[in-house]
């Protein structure tokens, strides 16, 4: 194998690893979003588009906080309180 071929192979491997990591992160975020929306719907009824958009735009840390709050919140507003 030539040096150029080795470098090409290493670049491809790094690209695959990066793609896997990004895919796993995206999957985690999507799973948290879907879980939160499902639980919110069961607890408080149908969600309007503003709530759905807010959940879809949130970072994983925020989604996890909201998921924790849904256990004790008595209203939708309490889940999203600052």
pLDDT in tens, the chain (82 residues): 788 777 778 778 787 778 776 777 788 899 999 999 999 999 999 999 999 999 999 999 999 999 999 999 999 999 999 8
Q: Quote the domain boundaries for residue 38.
A: 3-79
pLDDT for position 4: 77
Which tokens is 5 given? Answer: 């071929």
* Tally of structural domains, the chain: 1
pLDDT for position 9: 80
């Amino acid at each position: 194998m030539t040096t150029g071929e080795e470098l090409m192979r290493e670049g491809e491997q790094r690209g695959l690893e990066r793609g896997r990591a990004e895919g796993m992160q995206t999957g985690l975020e999507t799973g948290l979003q879907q879980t939160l929306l499902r639980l919110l719907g069961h607890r408080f009824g149908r969600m309007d588009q503003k709530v759905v958009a807010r959940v879809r735009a949130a970072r994983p840390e925020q989604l996890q906080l909201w998921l924790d709050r849904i256990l004790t919140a008595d209203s939708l507003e309490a889940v999203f309180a600052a």
